[in-house]
């Protein structure tokens, strides 16, 4: 159903993020398994745990607006996950695979940061203060994960891929 009001758009956006977060949750075990760098494995594991909390928050938010969880497409996230899977399946060295996985993970984080920022704005405009608080918490966590991945990439992963 097309969005005709800001509330409709808000609900549709929540549903897309719910689908996207579940897709991320499904993809992370493969990334964890492929990675050899202990710090990166831990970052992916931490993010998997965090993502499970994001899914639960989105379920609660959708229940709060009396919307079903739906099966909305999250094409951006799905496309980035597919890129990550291509990298995992390539014949590149593990160091290059890890650098590519970090890059894809950060691209997903940036998409999530944009989406949750928008959802915060919608929640605020719709007078949904508790939703705003929950979404802001998720947004903060996504920013933290991006920062952690960036630090790992700069300090360790990209240098290893370069051959340092």
**Can you give the CATH number for the domain in which 128 is found?**
1.20.1260.10
Q: Within a domain: residue 82? A: yes
Q: Tokens representing 84?
A: 């990550």
pLDDT at 70: 75
pLDDT at 107: 97
Q: What is the pLDDT of residues 38-91, one digit of tens each?
A: 999 999 999 999 999 999 999 999 999 999 887 789 999 999 999 988 888 888
Mean pLDDT of the chain, nearest integer: 94
Q: 15 near 67, Cβ under 8 Å? A: yes
Per the structure, the complete domain to which residue 95 belongs is given by 6-162
How many CB atoms sit inside 10 A of residue 67's CB? 17
DSSP3 helix / strand / coil % (the chain, rounded to 5): 85, 0, 15
How many CB atoms sit inside 10 A of residue 47's CB? 25
pTM: 0.94
Q: Within a domain: residue 28? A: yes
Q: Within a domain: residue 1? A: no
DSSP assignment of 100-131, as one string?
Answer: HHHHHHHHHHHHHHHHHHHHHHHHHHTT-HHH
pLDDT at 105: 96
Q: What is the tally of structural domains in the chain?
A: 1
Q: From CA 142, how far away is CA 139, in angstroms rounded? A: 5
């Amino acid at each position: 159903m097309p969005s005709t009001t800001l509330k409709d758009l808000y609900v549709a956006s929540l549903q897309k993020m719910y689908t996207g977060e579940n897709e991320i949750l499904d993809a992370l075990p493969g990334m964890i398994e492929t990675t050899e760098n202990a710090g990166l494995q831990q970052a992916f594991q931490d993010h998997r745990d965090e993502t499970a909390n994001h899914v639960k928050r989105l379920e609660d938010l959708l229940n709060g607006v009396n919307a079903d969880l739906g099966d909305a497409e999250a094409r951006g996230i799905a496309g980035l996950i597919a890129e990550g899977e291509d990298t995992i399946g390539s014949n590149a060295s593990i160091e290059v695979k890890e650098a590519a996985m970090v890059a894809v993970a950060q691209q997903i984080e940036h998409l999530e940061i944009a989406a949750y920022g928008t959802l915060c704005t919608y929640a605020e405009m719709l007078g949904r203060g508790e939703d705003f608080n929950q979404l802001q918490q998720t947004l903060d966590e996504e920013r933290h994960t991006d920062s952690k991945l960036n630090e790992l990439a700069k300090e360790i992963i990209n240098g290893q891929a370069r051959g340092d």
